[in-house]
Amino acid sequence: ESNKVRRNVQQVVQGIRKTQNMAISSTEIYNPSSGYKEVPSGGYVFYVRQGSVDDQNNDYYIIFADFNGNKNNDAGEQIEKVTFEQGIFIYGIRYKPSNGSPSSTNIIFTPPDPSVELQPAIPPAEQVIIALQKVGATCPGTCIDGTSCSSDCRAVKTMTTGWVSIVE
């Protein structure tokens, strides 16, 4: 069961890096509005959603191309959707340095730099921490703070510099 947590955290890291790499390489994606392949003007977005306590097996992330720059996953913009394995859910999402704890977040990579934007920024933050845990586990508060986790909990820390790491 603990390997499930590790696998899913690694999957989050790979999703973030995939999104970042698309921005670095200015990958052209088919835009249904124009009918052409193009680089999305709003960048490439890694969106992660934390379900309700009653719906823990419905946590997922989506990678999408933000063609119109509205920071929403509109029709035809989705590139990939990944639902976490059964029994794995998001323990929490935290912005640092503030203590904002939203139930979803966008990590936006805008080419050609690519610059990184964490959204919603409440207030502007330097990093976001996404902590996952297995059902029935108790995670230490230090996990969502991005300092240390347990074998049943892991976290991914993403910085506005583009740096991504796993908190163990």
User: How much is the mean pLDDT over the chain?
Assistant: 90
* φ, ψ at 97 (rounded to 5°): -80, -10
Write the Ramachandran bin of 71: left for phi over 0, alpha for psi from -120 to 50, otherwise beta. Answer: left
* φ, ψ at 56 (rounded to 5°): -65, -25
* Out of 2-11, 94-103, 104-113, 152-161, least confident range: 94-103
- Beta strands across the sheet bearing 88-96: 88-96, 127-134, 153-159, 164-167
Q: How confident is the model at residue 99 (pLDDT cuts 50, 70, 90)?
A: low
Q: What is the mean pLDDT of residues 143-161?
A: 93
Residue among 105, 104, 126, 108 at smallest CA distance from 117: 108
pTM of the prediction?
A: 0.92
Q: What is the mean pLDDT of residues 30-59?
A: 86
